[in-house]
Amino acid sequence: MNEHWLQSYIQLAFRIDKAIRAISASSPFVDCYYGPPEWKDSVTTENVTPANDLLQAAGHLIVALPLQQFEPHRQTYLAKQMLAMETVCRKLCGETFTLEDEVQRCFDIRPTWTPETVFEQAFALAETALPGEGNIFERMDALEQHYTLTREHIGLLEGFMYQAFAETRRRTQTFVTLPADEEVEVQIVTERAWLANNTYPGGYRSHIDVNTDFYRSRCIHRNWYCNVLKTLF
């Protein structure tokens, strides 16, 4: 295993991240990092790398990857990661892809068209299954509100989540042996643009931030989605 290749791989990711943040500060490429801090720090002080140089660096890493003698599963994973990173670099250079090709290259799945009849069947099932009165959207909203904590009871959320983790852990242990010191911690936050975010600090520990301010954003998103469905159907 060549540490130099891994360092170049990590630093390319941070250089791509810097190039993307220069275009849109709210669209990071690297979500979290817990590797050697000096690999990240060395990129922090650099200027933004030109897109063509990023693409060239990605190409060099792709060519060199088979020579690193990684374990087969890791080799496959890194090859797919490099394909995604190369695709991002090509887009930074101005190249475009079809939706299907871009999703395939970045996420290793190929989207296919879902027949309209599938949605029609889902709406027919919802019409039958959703309780209450009114149209399907009103009943969907009423059901969601029934299971939504009010602002006055939002303090119960953290406890409910720990109960859910305990049950998830119990069920998981019936078929997977978990590390003895595995742990999930929760923190309630506000003023974020997302509902929740998970990071892995290391040592079998996960940290989950839950944004209670997301209620308003969630309602806006749901109403927008329902309006789109109304237009389609």
Give the CA radius of gyration of the chain: 23
Instruction: Kindly give the residue spans of alpha helices, DSSP state H, lying in the chain.
Output: 3-23, 37-44, 51-64, 72-92, 99-107, 116-129, 136-146, 157-172, 214-232
Q: pLDDT tens, 33-52?
A: 888 999 999 999 999 999 99
Confidence tier at 1 by pLDDT (50, 70, 90): low
Task: Band the pLDDT of 217: cuts 50, 70, 90.
Answer: very low
Return the higher-pLDDT residue of 148 and 179.
179
232 pLDDT higher than 50? no
Write out the two tokens for 94: 């101005």
The predicted structure's pLDDT at residue 5: 95
Q: How far apart are CA 201 and CA 34, in angstroms?
A: 7
